Amino acid sequence: MSIIAQYGDVFIILACIFGFFMAWGVGANDVANAMGTSVGSKAITIRQAILIAVVFEFLGAWLAGGQVTDTIRKGIIDPSLLSDDPQLLVYGMLASLLAAGLWLLIASIRGWPVSTTHSIVGAIVGFAVAGLGVDSVGWPKVAQIAASWVVSPLLAGSIAFALFKSVQLLIFENHDPFAAAKRYVPGYIFLVGFIVAMVTLVKGLSHVGLQMSFGDSLLTAIGIGLVVMVIGILMENRVDRTKRQRGDSPFDFNSVERVFGVLMMFTACAMAFAHGSNDVANAVGPLAAVISVVESSGDVSGAAALPWWVLVLGGGGIVVGLVTYGHRVIATVGTGITELTPSRGFAATLAAATTVVLASGTGLPVSTTQTLVGAVLGVGLARGITALNLRVLGTIVLSWVITLPAGALLSIMFFFMFKGMFG
């Protein structure tokens, strides 16, 4: 206990610095995946993507980031096994943040779209097994997280496949696709507003002091969805049918894609919010664990409240990472797997956002990268297997596989370094 008392302030300062560094890595590497479909489909510019992400990543982190943070903070390691040596938990969480942040920096420089969730979970499991023993890891929770990495891209891919098929059926196969787009796109816009609002109200707002019943949440989410839909209709009304040249196809698909470009503005906001709500936990979960142990004088099992400024710090780090480094990779993500248009990008982005906010609501730290890649795959498969770039897919999957052992090895190294410095 004396080590906690002696170095408590140092531990919190280091945790804040490393947590911000990790959040910076999330912003630099992972936000590019979140916004890549919007930029890749040319629905929004890189400048617009950064502005949207700055606002909605921060809101997602602050308003709906608490559930997943709790899982990262105390769901992976059994705290009761560390009651006699609470400083080991502090060393491990500091090591995990530094290891995952460093790996994300390396990956961002190399241009690899790696999973920040893989990075931090691998780092925590790595230090726990090497420094504390195999029994210290909550393997059922780790298995649940690992299963979600398989389930989430499959779920997102299935939703994206269904959404794009509905777009093909309702709009592109209609005798007047432009009129059909004007008719049906507001419904899709309502869906975007409703899903994000519903999951946030039901699961995400307890830590900011707002408790609502399911019925109240449902009515509020419907209201928010309707408001978003009205805004979308007003924006959509500015899109006019392009003048056809002689010999043009009777199917005016350029005008239709411009209508979907309006919709992509909303799905980009939804994806940024969903990403912030889920992936802020990768940075602030270990930070919250360190603060909890220090403030409770070494009580690792105490149920400490998550300080509001921790989520703000994480959201701020994500924003800084995106603004300073995210533009280097955001332009290249979203075009490599399959060619995206606004209508295809909409299906992929809404499917991924829906999957991620649902996972955030249940407390599962899913991989946003994997979820989005699964959604883009679903859209590609809806067009046929030849629409996919399998070589790019192979490179992405390989970078995912490397991330787990890389995070674990770096974390083990830093864990014993901190143990030697303070122990």
pLDDT of 264 reads: 81
Mean pLDDT score, 375-395: 73
Q: What is the DSSP letter of 138?
A: -
- The residues facing 77 across adjacent strands are 137
pLDDT of 98 reads: 95
pLDDT of 246 reads: 43
pLDDT of 243 reads: 54
pLDDT of 247 reads: 44
Task: Match 């090497």 to its residue by tokens.
Answer: 130
Better-predicted residue by pLDDT, 61 or 6: 6
End-to-end CA distance of the chain: 11
**CA angle 28–294–291, rounded 5-degree value:** 30
pLDDT of 369 reads: 74
Length of the chain: 423
Better-predicted residue by pLDDT, 240 or 154: 154
pLDDT of 385 reads: 66
pLDDT of 141 reads: 80
- The residues facing 137 across adjacent strands are 77
**CA angle 203–209–215, rounded 5-degree value:** 50
Sign (positive/negative) of CA torsion 318, 323, 328, 333?
Answer: positive
Q: In the predicted model, is pLDDT for residue 249 greater than 60?
A: no
Contact 332, 380 (CB under 8 A): no
Sort residue 78 into left (φ over 0), alpha (ψ -120 to 50) or beta: beta
Contact 260, 181 (CB under 8 A): yes
- What are the distances in angstroms from CA 93 to CA 138, 279, 304, 319? 15, 16, 16, 23
Contact 264, 342 (CB under 8 A): yes
Mean pLDDT score, 354-362: 75
Sorting pLDDT into bands at 50, 70 and 90, what band is 309? confident
Sorting pLDDT into bands at 50, 70 and 90, what band is 416? very high
Q: In the predicted model, is pLDDT for residue 114 greater than 70?
A: yes
Q: In the predicted model, is pLDDT for residue 24 greater than 60?
A: yes
Q: In the predicted model, is pLDDT for residue 148 greater than 50?
A: yes
Q: Which residues contact 70 (CB under 8 A, 6 or more apart)?
A: 285, 306, 363
Q: In the predicted model, is pLDDT for residue 332 greater than 60?
A: no
Q: Which residues contact 404 (CB under 8 A, 6 or more apart)?
A: 118, 121, 122
pLDDT of 303 reads: 54
Say what angle helices 342-362 and 31-40 make with each other, to 10 degrees: 160
Sign (positive/negative) of CA torsion 175, 181, 185, 187?
Answer: negative
Q: Element (H or E) spanning 82, and its range?
A: none
CA count, 13 A, side-chain hemisphere, 309? 2
Q: Element (H or E) spanning 17, and its range?
A: helix 2-25
When the pLDDT of each residue in the chain is averaged and rounded to a whole number, the result is 80
Sort residue 82 into left (φ over 0), alpha (ψ -120 to 50) or beta: alpha
- Residues 261-285 have pLDDT tens digits of 888 888 788 778 877 777 777 788 8
pLDDT of 71 reads: 61
The three-state secondary structure class of 249 is coil
pLDDT of 187 reads: 92
pLDDT-wise least confident of 149-158, 214-223, 297-306, 320-329: 297-306
pLDDT of 333 reads: 58
Mean pLDDT score, 109-122: 80
The three-state secondary structure class of 115 is coil
Mean pLDDT score, 247-257: 62
Cα separation, 330 vs 275, whole angstroms: 14
Q: In the predicted model, is pLDDT for residue 236 greater than 60?
A: yes
Q: What is the pTM of this model?
A: 0.77
Instruction: Give the torsion through C-alpha atoms of 193, 194, 200, 201, to 10 deg.
Output: 130
Tokens encoding 42: 């040319």
Mean pLDDT score, 34-43: 74
pLDDT of 245 reads: 47
Mean pLDDT score, 363-385: 77
Contact 21, 319 (CB under 8 A): no
pLDDT of 411 reads: 95
Tokens encoding 391: 């070589």
Q: In the predicted model, is pLDDT for residue 248 greater than 60?
A: no
Cα separation, 103 vs 193, whole angstroms: 35
Sorting pLDDT into bands at 50, 70 and 90, what band is 356? confident
**CA angle 285–126–111, rounded 5-degree value:** 75
Q: In the predicted model, is pLDDT for residue 97 greater than 80?
A: yes
Give me the numbers of helices (H) and strands (E) for the chain, helices first please: 15, 0
Sorting pLDDT into bands at 50, 70 and 90, what band is 417? very high
Here the contacts of 232-241 (C-beta below 8 Å, separation 24 or greater) are 232/185, 232/186, 232/189, 232/262, 232/263, 232/266, 233/186, 233/189, 235/262, 235/265, 236/182, 236/185, 236/186, 236/262, 241/178
pLDDT of 153 reads: 85
Q: In the predicted model, is pLDDT for residue 258 greater than 70?
A: yes
Better-predicted residue by pLDDT, 395 or 157: 157
Mean pLDDT score, 158-178: 88
pLDDT of 219 reads: 92
pLDDT of 198 reads: 78
Mean pLDDT score, 65-71: 61
Cα separation, 22 vs 15, whole angstroms: 10
